[in-house]
A and B are shown apart, each in its own frame.
Chain A
């Protein structure tokens, strides 16, 4: 306290009322005042209008127009007030020195070291408890993080809902008949009954393409998989799982829209361009007695992008 009293008192400059710094920026303040009053007035009118429009449930654009217009006008008025009617300045405020004296600072440091240090050292028990609490807090706060990763996938990454004898249906749930598609046609199919389910729309989705009118072999060892030219591939890109739905029938390519991976439809869907690391898994097909398409089994490989345990 005593040291504060020793400081020299701040010299406040006294200015006369007609100092140019205190005059508003506008040359004709009374005119500006009228303009601002006008913007405020119309702003208030628009805001009242907004209330009225809201009350009578008017069209959305009237709400936007009145609220937007009203607040814009109020804002313009406020800015103009501050800019043209307030004292022009500039103003400089004198201040005393902010730093404490050397004695004050060394006394404070000594107090911390002598008294504060001792106080903390005496409470070992409390300090230990606090440390344990913080540690446990750190551990349990990771629980929601881990839980948010969802349940363990277990075998679901390896299998889809396609199995022996599953009927292929389109998005409306209609079974696909061998006469349905002409050569050069494509349709997205799902396991029967799952066309509207999350699983059906995600991991099970499959593109069905008719390549010819005779049985089609896409690779050695797949002799029975493409009856009457029908071949089916997983629609999930093996790169990042985008839907591979772009079929170019002259080039016989399936193109992924995300990163332009291209899969050779006639050769087991091996990728011949782009970042996809593996062929699209193929679904072996067969016909039932009346000519409707069924799967022979699940896909020959896990569908979609790679994952840790994938061999």
Chain B
């Protein structure tokens, strides 16, 4: 009985699988067109050395244009901030936030005085501080232990010790251009974070983290303050350009259009070829067996 039925089952499977596969591959091939990373097209924003806004003490307050607003947290939060700091941060950074813990070892931990609210906010709101392991080579993003207001309060207290910039950013993506953002990302960020934003290993156990789940304002904070080993990007990127980058990160990187169905981690043609080979050759082998089978 089964002898006569098997070939028809195989035949029916192929009739279904064949067109479905060709359909999928056709859809895969017609995925969204890639942005050409043509460097000459990056012309958004204006030169910054002329548009950087400084206060009377010569500190950079903002980078010129209206795409991002930098706010210094209200000083009325400072009292709450100090108690939160003593509770959560002082065991390493010291009660004066100068990086000297109670045992008096100076230089053991970073001095936070004069860092600016954006830096403090980034480290707390990305969950990196309070540190899970203070001796780790690099802190990792995790669920934040303190909420937005608490982070602002701590930033307000540290800022009250020695006012500094940049303030906590709020980015407006309404006029941001995702295509310019992609080109700027390729130029400035992709070397470490990779063009798909997955991040990669760096020197001495450090790594560039993935950008897949970083909120927009934290991207701005990281660009403007350079947390950890990341360099800062200041006067060479206008606020318009930073907004373009943030738009690329929050759209193309965080919501990639994988029309074919498999993103494969954005690892590129090697991974895609490997999967194609595995599935394709496997299928061909099955067909080969079926063709060669004698009754």
Please give the residue numbers on chain A whose beta carbons come within 8 Å of chain B beta carbons, in ascending order: 25-28, 35, 39, 46, 59-61, 63-65, 67-69, 72-73, 76, 79-80, 83-84, 88, 170-172, 174, 176-177, 179-188, 195-196, 201, 209, 243, 245-251, 253, 255, 257, 260, 262, 273
Contact = CB atoms under 8 A, between A and B. Distances in A.
B191 A63 contact: no
B143 interface: no
A246 B202 contact: yes
Interface in B1-35: 4, 7-8, 11, 14-15, 18-19, 21-23, 25-27, 29-30
A183 B231 CA distance: 9
A35 B202 contact: no
22 contacts: A28-B4, A61-B23, A64-B25, A64-B27, A65-B23, A68-B19, A68-B21, A76-B11, A83-B291, A84-B7, A172-B42, A179-B49, A179-B52, A180-B48, A182-B60, A184-B231, A185-B231, A188-B187, A195-B39, A248-B203, A249-B231, A273-B203
Interface of B: 4, 7-8, 11, 14-15, 18-19, 21-23, 25-27, 29-30, 39-40, 42-43, 47-49, 52, 60, 187, 191-192, 202-204, 206, 226, 228-236, 291, 294-295
Nearest to B21: A68
B22 A251 contact: no
A182 B235 contact: yes
Closest 7 CB pairs of A and B: A64-B26, A68-B22, A180-B235, A177-B49, A72-B18, A69-B19, A245-B191
A248 B207 CA distance: 10
A248 B25 CA distance: 41
A35 B230 CA distance: 65
Contacts of A273: 203
B47 A174 contact: yes
A87 to B, nearest CB: 12
Contact of A27 (B4, B19, B26, B40): B4
Contacts of B39: 171, 195-196, 201
A262 B203 contact: yes
Given A83-B291, A249-B229, A76 B236 contact: no
A61 B26 contact: yes
A272 B74 CA distance: 46
B26 A39 contact: no
Contacts of A170: 236
Given A65-B19, A68-B25, A171-B39, A182 B232 contact: yes
Nearest to B48: A180
A185 B19 contact: no
Given A179-B235, A209-B231, A249-B231, 4 more contacts: A27-B4, A72-B19, A83-B291, A181-B235
Given A65-B23, A251-B229, A246 B192 contact: yes
B30 A60 contact: yes
Contacts of A201: 39
Nearest to B50: A177
A248 B229 contact: yes
A65 B26 contact: yes
B229 A76 contact: no
A236 B229 CA distance: 21
B123 to A, nearest CB: 14
Given A179-B52, A179-B235, A249 B226 contact: yes
Nearest to B236: A187
A209 B226 CA distance: 13
A196 B234 CA distance: 23
Contacts of A188: 187
Contacts of B29: 60, 64
A193 B230 CA distance: 29
B226 A184 contact: yes
A288 to B, nearest CB: 13
B230 A65 contact: no
A150 to B, nearest CB: 25
Contacts of B25: 64, 68
A68 B202 CA distance: 44
A196 B23 contact: no
Given A25-B295, A61-B27, A172-B42, A251 B204 contact: yes
